A = this chain, B = another copy of it.
């Protein structure tokens, strides 16, 4: 790999506070030169095929590593070099035999994954070389497409990684999950599980911006410290060492108004037992159930929904695609004003994707988990325009 490691969580300021070497606002001359001359010799695609249905945690030998050459483009096609691959709990769900909100990944095909890339070559009228694009690009280095499913990105003065986080599916999930499904009211008590994770950490901060008391549940002292000291959560619970029901009772003396659920299982059951009247449970994810890492079986106390006249509702960020700019505009403003913090955890090299995925289930990632597949392109040309449009 080449280039400067990306200081995503450090350089959010306009103007740049890091200066030379900041991967966001400045590129080395060598990197710029390299990009101006893309390698047009025979390209080799590296890719991971899913070749077995994982039992429990996905293991590297559920996948097969393949090197194949990339064919010349046909008319109407576009070639994308993948820069970042997003690793999300939902990847594990897609590996199962059963369809979920998307069909199961067929065995023998490239593992599905959300990615961000740069167009290297285009014979499609809608895309030009140098365009930043996003979509289900797959666990591979190159993606050839007829353009369907590719979304062009308008660059903003934010780190590129933000498009797979705050200004991507993670931001949409946190924003609409909390605001549209959870419907927070100032003064209410919001409990978030996996609260140091990519979605959870945003949810808690948005909750604070909306005037909620926020209690974050996470699995390490480091994460708890981060939530309390940097994110401003009112209380934190380390589920690995604390008694969850007792801690919820202590931190939520008037019950839980909103439980933003990323994990399901035992924490969901404890939250159900401690709901306030007319509580909302935002069913965002149930990571404890995806991997067989917790005994199967749901909460035995769903009758609490009746007792507390509570609502539990599932959603997917994809349903909010047509309202994405509404979220991104507000999220980007908060971010540029320093009101939202986030961390990225970048794993170098596509070859490490299968192993890295399990960190989500072990809780050993520290921030939005990404794989850097190739070097970042030049970025971002339209920062000034955005800044003057949205921040005055």
Contacts and interface: CB of A to CB of B under 8 A. Distances in A.
Q: Is the interface of A mostly helix, strand, loop or mixed?
A: loop
A360 interface: no
A296 interface: yes
A306 interface: yes
Interface string A294-325: 00111111111111111111111001000000
Contacts of A306: 101, 283-286, 314-316
Interface residues of A, number: 32
The copy count of this chain in the complex is 2
Nearest to A298: B298
A305 B296 contact: no
A159 interface: no
A17 interface: no
A264 interface: yes
Interface in A252-308: 264, 268, 283-286, 289, 296-308
A286 B316 CA distance: 28
Interface in A52-77: none
Given A297-B298, A298-B298, A311-B311, A303 B316 contact: no
A329 interface: no
Interface of A: 93, 100-101, 264, 268, 283-286, 289, 296-316, 319
9 contacts: A101-B308, A283-B305, A298-B299, A298-B302, A305-B312, A306-B314, A306-B316, A307-B314, A308-B314
Given A283-B302, A285-B306, A311-B313, 7 more contacts: A93-B303, A286-B306, A298-B298, A307-B314, A309-B313, A309-B316, A311-B312
